[in-house]
Structure formats: structure tokens, C-alpha cells
Amino acid sequence: MRSILLVGSIGAGKTTFRQRLQGLPIEYAKTQAIETFASAIDTPGEYLEVGRYKHALMLASYDVEVVVLVQSATSDETRFPPGFATTFNREVLGVVTHAGVATEAQVHDAVDHLTRAGAHRIVAVDSVTGKGFKRVQEVLCRTSS
């Protein structure tokens, strides 16, 4: 699997997504600082939400092959500004989390948020059930962009 940087708001589901992707037990854990796990870098939601921390996301992206923008389908708003993906000189994948408990309209809105942010591909997943992870793995296991 290609190395990834997870970026998203507080509660977007970045850590749960990572745990499912790596085949680990799903356990709630609030990410307090940038954490590195095998091929994944997990970041606190505050790094996206607080402007003075965004530079840390850019620096962390230099160590990965793919930046994953994580947007919860159950959130009515987004912290990703239009064109945010251009911040990174990497492939940017959009992941809609909480798709299993969201309405179709909520998933559609989350996809729109990630599209405006500039994600190249967007996949909807449910990290608890594993729905959508086959597609995520296909994208992340490719050897070229």
C-alpha cells in the first residue's frame, strides 16, 4: 500500500478509517498529535481547523505518496476550502466517512465538498462495516498515479 496522510476535521473518522484500512481493531482514540503508523500518518483535526497548524500538514505531506482528505457525511459543513488539494504536491484522494449512517443526500453533499476541495478521486466508506474499503485499497495499492 502506498503511504498516506490523513487530513480532516475533528470527528471526521480519520483514525477509525486508518484502523480499518490497516486491519486493526476499531477503537476510539482522539489523535492529539501527528502520529505515524507503518504507511499512514494520522493528524489531529485541529491541524485542519486552526489556520496556524496548516503548515504542519504541508510538511507532513512530503513524507507520503497520497494525501487523503476525510469528510464525514454526517457533518453539514466542511473545513476544506475550495482548491485545498492544490496545497499538496501529491495525489489527493477524497474519502467520505460515516456513509453507512448517512442519507444519500448527505453523502452527495460530502462528495461535493471534497470535489470543491480538489480531490482527484472520491470514495464513500463505512469504517465500521468495511463497506467501500475494497475500492480504497484498489486506489492505494496502485503503483503509479
Q: What is the pTM of this model?
A: 0.94
Chain-centroid distance, C-alpha 8: 6
Give the DSSP H/E element, type plus range, for residue 11. Answer: none
Q: Of the candidates 75, 113, 82, 79, which has an alpha carbon nearest to the alpha carbon of residue 9?
A: 79
- The beta strand positions in 18-136, using DSSP E, are 35-37, 40-42, 66-72, 91-97, 121-124
The residue among 114 and 140 whose pLDDT is bigger is: 114
Residue 125 has pLDDT above 60, yes or no: yes
Query: Parallel, antiparallel, or unpaired for β 40-42 and 35-37?
Result: antiparallel
CA distances from 24 to 8, 37, 112 (A): 20, 11, 30
pLDDT tens track for 34-77: 999 989 999 999 999 998 998 999 999 999 999 999 999 999 99
Q: Which residues, in sequence order, are CB contacts of 17 under 8 Å at separation 6+?
A: 6, 68, 70, 95, 97, 125, 127
Cβ(115)–Cβ(90) under 8 Å?
no
Chain-centroid distance, C-alpha 5: 8
